């Protein structure tokens, strides 16, 4: 019945997901190992967010020798997503995480991934992160025009200053902006509030 429910509701992912969760319960009770593995994989790959419990449960079903191949399959199926970056964090594949963050930065020049992963990556990629922050800041300053946006920009400067080697660069940028944008008193005010 659950399998039929899944088949007729492919365009309703919530129903399909719940049905697969119920199937997993049944497979666990009946000790259907192959189906447990298959369903865990489906649930993980189709979850809206990275689910560490599902990931670890699925991983536990493989030996240390088998896992690298399974891991690469996951990575190829979830390429260019937050999922794959979460996998890189869990597996401590920081070189690949950095490559992914850099690719995203090149495309979007936003702060989200820089700030999310800077603590993890700053040990080995501090100078690259400082440069990426600089590029994102230079892009963002062109778009800001309200006090909340100025405050957000100041917060990004603060985050940059936390990276090794980033404090001096953040201070230099702030001082340059205070001079360049002196006719925007609200912006200057927010920049001076930045804890650098």
pLDDT at 172: 95
> pLDDT tens, position by position, for the chain (196 residues)?
898 889 999 999 999 999 999 999 999 999 999 999 999 999 999 888 899 999 999 999 999 999 999 999 989 998 877 889 999 999 999 999 999 999 999 999 999 999 999 999 999 999 999 999 999 999 999 999 999 999 999 999 999 999 999 999 999 999 999 999 999 999 999 999 999 9
pTM of the model: 0.87
Q: Looking at residue 37, what is its pLDDT?
A: 96
* pLDDT score at 4: 87
Neighbours of 13 (CB within 10 A): 11
Phi/psi for 111 (5° steps) reads -100, -15
For residue 54, count other CB atoms closer than 10 A to its CB: 17
Whether 159 and 122 have beta carbons less than 8 Å apart is answered as no
Please report the pLDDT score of residue 107 as a whole number. Answer: 92
| Alpha carbon separation from 163 to 4, 18, 58, 139 (Å, rounded) | 53, 42, 35, 19
169 to each of 100, 132, 134, 164, 174, how far by Cα in Å?
24, 12, 8, 10, 9
CA distance 111 to 158: 12
Look at residue 181 in the predicted model and tell me its pLDDT. 95
Please, which residues have CB within 8 angstroms of residue 95's CB and are 6 or more apart in sequence?
A: 124
Nearest partner of 87 among 119, 55, 128, judged by Cα: 55
pLDDT at position 112: 93
């Amino acid at each position: 019945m659950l399998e039929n429910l899944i088949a007729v509701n492919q365009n309703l992912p919530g129903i399909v997901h719940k049905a697969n969760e119920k199937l997993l319960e049944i497979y666990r009770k009946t000790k259907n190992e192959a189906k447990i593995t298959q369903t865990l994989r489906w649930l993980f790959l189709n979850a809206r967010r990275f689910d560490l419990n599902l990931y670890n449960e699925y991983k536990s079903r493989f030996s240390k020798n088998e896992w690298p191949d399974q891991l690469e399959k996951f990575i190829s199926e979830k390429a260019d997503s937050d999922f794959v970056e979460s996998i890189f964090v869990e597996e401590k594949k920081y070189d690949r995480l950095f490559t992914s963050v850099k690719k995203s930065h090149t495309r979007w020049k936003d702060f989200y991934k820089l700030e999310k992963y800077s603590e993890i990556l700053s040990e080995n990629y501090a100078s690259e992160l400082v440069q990426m922050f600089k590029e994102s800041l230079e892009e963002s300053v062109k778009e800001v025009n309200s006090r909340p946006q100025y405050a957000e920009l100041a917060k990004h400067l603060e985050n940059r200053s936390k990276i090794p080697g980033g404090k001096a660069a953040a201070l230099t940028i702030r001082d340059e902006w205070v001079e360049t944008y002196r006719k925007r008193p609200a912006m200057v005010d927010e920049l001076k509030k930045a804890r650098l």
